[in-house]
């Protein structure tokens, strides 16, 4: 029997995941905007985020949340982190019991500091909860390029069943039981990608970018372990893989934010010119709150937060990083701290 999939959120990644699933099983994509749902349904294109990329004929789209959710055997949630809770609460009356819920969002909720999987457990308790994450740039996948991802769930048997829903000829999905580590890898890499973009905007070379990515991975691992993730996870697709793709790709929203900051624009100017959410901007503040409470040194994240929230310029941020004392390369990694 086919598993019916509902995907909430018609941004670039939600649409792409819906397109992938629709090739394997009946899938419906929900958009809060009726005109976009109609365009996807009739024209087979998401002109707002994926113009020029044809979507599968079998993919269905709707702006009616009850229609999307009521018959779903799997709910996939691809709305940005700050609208994640409200989307779940709206879907809750229409969702049948025991239906698994998978998050695509890579952020932390401002205020509660919760990961998306924790919000799912709060709003929709008693269901299998998972995360689909990894180095996945939507346009490359729709263009048919090879890519790999991770479905992270505590229950390996459920994860294995969901694996087949998303896999394609050139899109491989691996399983991982470290939900915390996989989720945090996706969250934290967005912050480091802003730093990488700032380096590019300032005209720094590949040596600088390599250092930012590598030291950024150290920060990700340090905080990820402290919050319960496994160190090995951060060297895999959900950690290093996602970090590299997001830091170097011109398609990366967070890298784009950093690059514009490096060119001298204010964060307000950068955000006003974008039509998609760069999760790392708000996440940087939340991450620093957590790091300070845990007593963790995260210099790159600290400078990104200062640029995004305290009026610091990208040039000042990099001057601050270069003036810092150096120590042992692997301090704080593999110790849980």
As a whole number of angstroms, the distance between CA 148 and CA 143 comes to: 14
DSSP string, 222-255: HHHHHTT--GGGGGSIIIIIHHHHHHH-TT-HHH
Return the structure tokens found at 308.
């995004």
**Strands (DSSP E) found in 104-164:** 129-133, 147-153
Distance between CA 287 and CA 314 in Å, rounded? 19
Gap between the Cα atoms of 112 and 135, Å rounded:
27
Say how far apart CA 73 and CA 314 lie, in whole Å. 46
Which tokens hold the place of 69?
A: 């959710």
Which listed residue (189, 282, 285, 305) is catalytic?
189
Q: Is the separation of the CB atoms in 196 and 204 below 8 Å? A: no
The answer to whether residue 189 is catalytic is yes
Taking alpha carbons only, the member of 22, 82, 25 closest to residue 56 is 22
Beta bridge partners of 152: 131, 176
Q: Which residue has the tokens 């899938």?
A: 27
Residues 6+ apart with CB under 8 A from 24: 164, 165, 166, 167, 168
**174 with 237: CB under 8 angstroms?**
yes
- CA–CA separation, 235 and 221 (whole Å): 9
Residue 136 backbone phi and psi in degrees, to 5: -125, 105
Residues with a known catalytic role: 189
């Amino acid at each position: 029997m086919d598993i019916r999939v509902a995907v909430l959120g018609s941004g670039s990644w939600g649409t792409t995941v819906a397109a992938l699933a629709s090739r394997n099983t009946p899938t419906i994509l929900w958009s809060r905007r009726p005109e976009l749902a109609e365009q996807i349904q009739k024209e087979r294109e998401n002109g707002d985020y994926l113009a020029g990329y044809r979507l599968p004929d079998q993919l269905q789209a709707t702006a009616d949340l009850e229609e999307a959710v009521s018959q779903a055997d799997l709910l996939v949630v691809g709305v940005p982190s700050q609208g994640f809770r409200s989307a779940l609460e709206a879907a809750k009356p229409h969702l049948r019991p025991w239906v698994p819920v998978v998050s695509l969002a890579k952020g932390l909720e401002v205020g509660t500091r919760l990961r998306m999987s924790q919000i799912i457990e709060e709003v929709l308790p008693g269901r299998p909860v998972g995360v689909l994450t990894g180095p996945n740039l939507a346009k490359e996948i729709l263009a048919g390029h090879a890519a790999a991802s991770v479905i992270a769930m505590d229950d390996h048997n459920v994860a294995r069943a969901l694996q087949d829903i998303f896999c394609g000829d050139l899109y491989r999905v691996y399983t991982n039981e470290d939900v915390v580590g996989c989720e945090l890898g996706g969250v934290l890499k967005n912050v480091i990608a802003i730093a990488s973009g700032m380096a590019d905007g300032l005209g720094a070379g590949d040596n600088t970018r390599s250092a930012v990515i590598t030291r950024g991975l150290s920060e990700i691992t340090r905080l990820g372990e402290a919050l319960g993730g496994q160190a090995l996870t951060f060297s895999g697709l959900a950690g290093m893989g996602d970090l590299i793709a997001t830091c170097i790709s011109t398609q990366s929203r967070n890298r784009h934010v950093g690059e514009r900051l490096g060119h001298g624009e204010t964060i307000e100017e950068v955000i006003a010119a974008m039509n998609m959410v760069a999760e790392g901007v708000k996440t940087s503040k939340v991450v620093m709150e957590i790091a300070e409470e845990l007593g963790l040194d995260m210099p790159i994240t600290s400078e990104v937060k200062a640029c995004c929230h305290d009026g610091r310029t990208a040039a000042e941020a990099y001057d601050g990083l270069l003036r810092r004392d150096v120590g042992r390369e692997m301090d704080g990694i593999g110790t849980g701290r």
